[in-house]
């Protein structure tokens, strides 16, 4: 798993519903253990990777090839889910116009929600993205 995908999935875990994932909410941690990341279903990981790739292509057209800041996967997760932070208040070197366009692009992907579910033979729940 590359670092962009890991950052994105960790941010989704960090910002998700307290009732579903109390271990991540308000913890102040922007990471999850490797075992938690491995709990994402293969379909969810694949979907997340495709969405990141598509977002990155369009975002690079906005800011130029080398212009995306290092936190863009996290800012994508925050922005698309409307968490009150994201590209619009990024401390990366985007112009105000670029921030607005990146924010709008992220919101165009729609919100995502994480769900825990256990299979019939599973003792540890898996995590899926809807």
For the stretch 26-85, pLDDT in tens is 444 434 555 667 778 888 899 999 999 999 999 999 998 768 999 999 999 999 998 888
- Going from N- to C-terminal start, the domains of the chain cover 3-129
Residue 30 in tokens: 């922007």
- 88 close to 106: Cβ distance less than 8 angstroms: no
Average pLDDT, the chain: 80
- In this prediction, residues 10-27 reach a mean pLDDT of 62
User: For residues 20 and 11, what is the distance between their CA atoms, to the nearest angstrom?
Assistant: 15
pLDDT at 117: 62
Q: Could you tell me which residue, 72 or 18, shows the higher pLDDT?
A: 72
Instruction: Tell me if residue 52 falls in helix, strand or coil.
Output: helix
pLDDT at 118: 55
Q: Could you tell me which residue, 33 or 123, shows the higher pLDDT?
A: 33
At 101-119, the pLDDT tens digits run 999 999 999 998 777 665 5
């Amino acid at each position: 798993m590359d670092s962009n995908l890991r950052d994105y999935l960790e941010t989704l875990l960090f910002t998700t519903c307290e009732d579903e994932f109390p271990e991540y909410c308000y913890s102040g941690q922007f990471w999850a253990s490797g075992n938690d990341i491995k709990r994402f279903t293969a379909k969810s990981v694949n979907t997340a990777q495709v969405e990141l790739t598509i977002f990155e292509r369009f975002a690079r057209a906005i800011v130029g090839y080398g212009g995306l800041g290092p936190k863009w996967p996290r800012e994508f997760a925050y922005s698309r889910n409307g968490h009150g932070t994201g590209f619009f208040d990024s401390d990366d070197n985007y112009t105000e116009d670029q921030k607005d366009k990146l924010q709008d692009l992220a919101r165009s992907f729609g919100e995502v929600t994480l769900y825990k579910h256990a299979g019939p033979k599973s003792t540890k729940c898996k995590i899926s993205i809807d």
